[in-house]
């Protein structure tokens, strides 16, 4: 007699699941027993351009079903509030409830801050940050209503996708870095708001070779010996499966970096130094005498080389 799978009987939504990270995450959740709604708007351009198509989502759903899992495809733009509502409501209608939400959908419109257009800023913030909010809003309302109806905690898991672009900086991605930083704020706020209902919310910063990161990892060649690429999305998906599972009930409001067989837990910012005014308030001269020497003694704030940030060597 086979043992039950960790996610048996649970239903999940994975957004942006037609390719790359989302695809790997949807496959992993299905492998662990969840019934998966594979959401993807299906536009071919990584900048969100091109005609929307159901094909990417349908192909992943078919792949899951061929492996013996349960999955349906959903073509919808999560940056649209009403389409996000329909995604969540259709999942609840099909399965009786929603248990897991993995927010992964995103686009890139890279440009330096002094060259970026308003549309390039707005579009990336809309898909990443607003897209995360839209699905979270409707999922959270569902879990709150269920908890009130049952009089106790319910099962709910949110896994959001941030990026080290907001941690280490990314000169050509002010829109993307801002959106990913906002997602961390959304995650921690959601974690606090939903904890009393039994729901957890966590965020990951994945490093993976996908069409979104093809420029970033252009100098890091895939292994020629047939071993698994250190940047393969399959290194990220097991963490998503864990965070979506009952085993992670005690993990809430956390940010984790994951890639190539490594998971790092990121601490919340800590105070590095504190200075107190000699009198009621600071004077310019006093601040100059305190802060200027402090920063002069610290290493220069240099931009990390890609290999340093990624912890990888070019092959």
Domains defined for the chain, CATH in brackets:
11-266 (3.40.50.720)
Looking at residue 22, its pLDDT comes to: 95
Distances (CA, A) of 238 to 7, 60, 74: 13, 17, 23
Q: What is 36-73 written as a DSSP string?
A: EEEE----SSTTS-S---SHHHHHHHHHHHHTT-EEEE
Instruction: Please give the positions annotated as active site.
Output: 163, 176, 180
What 3-state DSSP class applies to 262? strand
Successive 10-residue mean pLDDT values, the chain, 315 residues: 88 95 97 97 68 87 97 96 98 95 93 96 97 98 97 98 88 94 98 98 84 50 60 88 98 94 91 95 97 86 41 38
pLDDT at 313: 38
């Amino acid at each position: 007699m086979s043992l039950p799978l960790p996610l048996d009987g649970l239903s999940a939504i994975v957004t942006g699941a037609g390719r790359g990270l989302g695809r790997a995450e949807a496959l992993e959740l299905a492998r662990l027993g969840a019934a998966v709604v594979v959401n993807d708007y299906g536009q071919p351009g990584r900048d969100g351009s091109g005609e929307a198509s159901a094909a990417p989502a349908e192909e992943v759903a078919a792949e899951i079903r061929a492996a013996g899992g349960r999955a349906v495809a959903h073509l919808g733009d999560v940056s649209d509030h009403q389409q996000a509502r329909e995604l969540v409501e259709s999942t609840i209608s099909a399965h009786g409830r929603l248990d897991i939400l993995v927010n992964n959908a995103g686009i890139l419109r890279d440009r330096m801050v002094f060259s970026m257009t308003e549309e390039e800023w707005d579009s990336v913030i809309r898909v990443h940050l607003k897209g995360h909010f839209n699905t979270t809003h409707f999922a959270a309302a569902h879990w709150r209503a269920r908890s009130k109806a049952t009089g106790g905690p319910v099962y709910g898991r949110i896994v959001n996708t941030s990026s080290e672009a907001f941690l280490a900086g990314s000169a050509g991605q002010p829109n993307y870095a801002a959106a990913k930083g906002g997602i961390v704020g959304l995650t921690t706020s959601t974690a606090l708001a939903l904890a009393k209902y039994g729901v957890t919310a966590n965020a990951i910063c994945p490093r993976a070779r996908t069409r979104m990161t093809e420029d970033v990892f252009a100098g890091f060649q895939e292994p020629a010996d047939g071993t698994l690429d250190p940047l393969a999305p399959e290194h990220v998906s097991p963490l998503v499966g864990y965070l979506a599972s009952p085993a992670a009930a005690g993990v809430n409001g956390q940010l984790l970096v994951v890639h190539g067989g490594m998971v790092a837990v990121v601490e919340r910012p800590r105070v590095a130094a504190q200075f107190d005014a000699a009198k009621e308030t600071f004077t310019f001269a006093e601040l100059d005498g305190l802060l200027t020497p402090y920063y002069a003694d610290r290493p220069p704030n240099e931009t990390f080389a890609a290999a340093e940030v990624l912890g990888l060597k070019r092959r």
